[in-house]
Chain A
Amino acid sequence: MSSEKAGKIENPLASGVQQGLIPQPCILVIFGAAGDLSWRKLMPAIYNLNMDGLLPSNFALCGFGIGAQGDGDTWLRERAKSGIEKFSRQPLVQSHYDDFERCVFYIEGSFNDAQAYSRLKAKLEELDQQFGIPGNRVFYFAVPPTVVEICVSRLKSEGMVLEEETATRFTRVIVEKPIGRDLESAKAVNAAVATAFQEEQTYRIDHYLGKETVQNMMVLRFANSIFEPLLNGKYIDHVQITVAEEEGVGTRVGYYEGVGALRDMVQNHLLQVLCMIAMEPPYSLAPNVVRDSKTEVLHCLRPFTPGDVERSVVRAQYIAGEVHGNVVPGYRREVTDFFSKIGKTAPTDSTTETFVAIRAYIDNWRWAGVPFYIRTGKRLPKRASEVAIQFKDVPQILFNANPDVPLDPNVLTVNIQPEEGLALRIGAKLPGPKVRIYPVKMDFNYQTGFGKDNPEAYERLILDVMAGDATLFMRRDQVEAAWRYLMPVLDAWENSRVRYLPEYRSGTWGPLEADRLIEADGRRWRLL
C-alpha cells in the first residue's frame, strides 16, 4: 500500500479515505498495445475507469510495440475507439472519448530494439511534463512470456525502472498469465522480472481474481457467521469447481496448441478460485496476509504420484459436434486448418488437452478427506463457471429414511459467469396433506439483486495497481507453488507418449472418463 512507503508525504486531504483505493498519478505503458488483449480488454477497461471518474487526474497511456499503421498515436486511438465501441461495458460517449484520447499515445518499436526503448523513454519524460506526472510508471506486459525477459532487460538498461518505490515515485509492472509453461520456465520468468523489479513492484494478473463473485467468496465466508463454521470436512461432502466454455480454440490455436487446458486454466484460474474457497481466515486484509493464506492452500494440496495421475486426472480433446445447433469442427481439424493457413506444417497428432478433470485433496485439518473436483473444458454445451459446495446428507432417518424418495443434499453455489451470484439449495415441504420434500433454490443474482453493472475485472485490477494494492494479484511463491503441484501431471503426460487422448463430442459435458472419475466415488458432476 502506498501509505506504507517510507518517506511518503501523507496527504491530509486523503485521510479517512481507504488508501488502497486512491490511484496515483502515472503513465500506463502497454507493451503489446497492438494485440488482442489490449483491444478487447485493456482499452475498454481504461475508458470505463475514465467514464467513472476513477482515473487519476494526472494520467496518460502510452502503447508500445509493433503493428501500427501510419501515425502511431492516431492509429492507437482509432484502435482503442473500435475496441471500446465493440467491447466496452459502457457505450462510447464522444465528449468523454475526446478527453480520453488526448492522453493516449503510441511508440512503435520492437521489444528487442534498444533504440525503440530510448524513444519510449523520451516520450514518457515528455508526457510527464505535459500531464504533470511525477515520473510514475505502470508497465503492462500484454505480451507472450517468451519476450518478458527481453522487455525487462531493456527497461532496466535504459534506466526506466526505479530500484524501489520512493516517497513520490514508483515503477510497477503487470505481468499477464501464463507465467511460464512449467515450474522451471515460471521460475525463469519470475527471475527475469526480479532482475529489475522487486516483488512489491510486481503485479501478476489473473483476471478471475478481479471478478466480483470471486472477491465475494471471502465476504461470503468471513462476513457471514452461518457458513464458515460449516465449511470443513465434518459438514462438506465435496466441492466442485467448473469453468466451462462453449467456444473452441478459434483464433487462439497458435497460442493454445502445446499449452492446453491444464496450463491455460487450471494452473491459474481454477487453483486461485480453489484457494479462495479453501483458505483459512487471514488475520487481516493486508495484501500479503491474504496471499499467505491462499499460498498455504497450495502447499497443502496432496501431491500427485504417477498412479494418482492415472486415477485422479482426466484429459481429453473435443471432436466435431454441435453447439447451439451449429456444426463445429474438432480440435485437430482446427489445428490443421490454422497451420496450413499460415503456411506451416500442422502437427497431425496433437495431444493438447481441451478438457481436464481432477480430483484433488487438501491435506489440512479443515479439509481432510473432502474431495475437490475440478473440471474445465472447451466446446462444452454452455459458458458457465461456478463453485458448488455440497453438504453431507442428513442421517437416513426421518425424512431421509425412504431410499425410494431420495433427499437432495444442500448445495451452496457461487456462480462466477456468465451470471454472477450465489444460490443455496434446501429441501422444503410441498404444500399438501402428505410430507413430501422438494428441493428449492434460494437465489441471489448480482445484477438483479444489486441492480447495477459490475465493473469488468480488468478495471478493478488496473485501478489496484495504480493504487499500489496487490491483494488480488499472484505472488511469486503462489505461482510457483501452483506449478509445483501440477508438475507430476505434466511429467506423467509428457512421459506417457500417447498419440490419442480420450475424446468428447463438441456440445457435450466432456468425456466418459471424467464421469467415471467422479462416479467411482459415488458422486456425479453437476449439470450446469
Chain B
Amino acid sequence: MASDFEVEFIERDDRNARFVVRGLTPAFANGIRRAMIADVPTMSIDTVRFVENSSVMFDEMIGLRLGLVPLTTPLDDYETGETATLALDVEGPATAYSGDLRSSDDLVQPADENIPIIELKEGQRLELEADAVLDRGREHAKHQGGVAVGYRHLQRVDVVGDAGEFDEQESNILRGVIETEDDELVLTDEFDNDLTERYPGKEVEVHDVPGAFVFHVETDGSVTAEELVLRAADSIGDRAAELEEKVAV
C-alpha cells in the first residue's frame, strides 16, 4: 500500500471542498467517505419540552423539524451523548425561523438562520426548550455532517491527434476533474463538461489515473469540510489503534 499521499485542492471554502488525493487504495478512499457520512458526529436537537404550542402542528412534527436544523458543532468540547440546551419563543403573527433559537452555548448555534420551522398566525405561540445531543449519522440522518460526499477517479485526457476533417464531432461528456497533458487539474465545469469544447477538432483519449481520487465534500454547516475529512480519517485511525492494542493483549 503506497503511503505517500499527495493532496491538492481544486475548490475550497467553509462548507464545500473538492480535492485530489493520490496514492490511495479504493478501500481506504471508501472508508474515508463512509466515515464522513456516518461516523463523524454532529449536534442535533433530540429532546424537546414544549411550554406552549398553539400552532397548527403537533408537538412531534415540530420536534422533527427542529431535529433537522443543522447546528454548529465544537467537536473538541463535546463527547458523544453530551447535550446543549436551546430555547425558542415566537408569538404570531410571525414565522419561527431556526435563527430564533437561543442557545446556552455560543459555539452551538443554528448553522443557517433562515430555515422556517412553522408559520404562526395571530394568537398562536410556540415556546419550547430543547436539548441538542452529539451523535453519529449511523444513529440518525440528522446527525450527518456530510450531506454530499463522494469521489470519482481522476481522469487523464491525452490528445492523440486531429479528428478527421469531415468527421462529425460528437460531444464527449466528462464530469468532475480532469488532468491535462501539462499535469494541470481542470474542473470540467470550465468547459461545460464537454471535451470537444476544450479540444475542438482533436482526437482525445481518456484514461483513469490509478490510485488518484477526486473527492467532493459538502457539509451542512455543522463542521467545516476540512474538519469533516480530518475527523473521518481520525475515526478510522482510532479504531485501528484500538484493534492493534486489543490484539496485542
Partners in one complex: no
| A interface residue numbers (CB < 8 A to B) | none
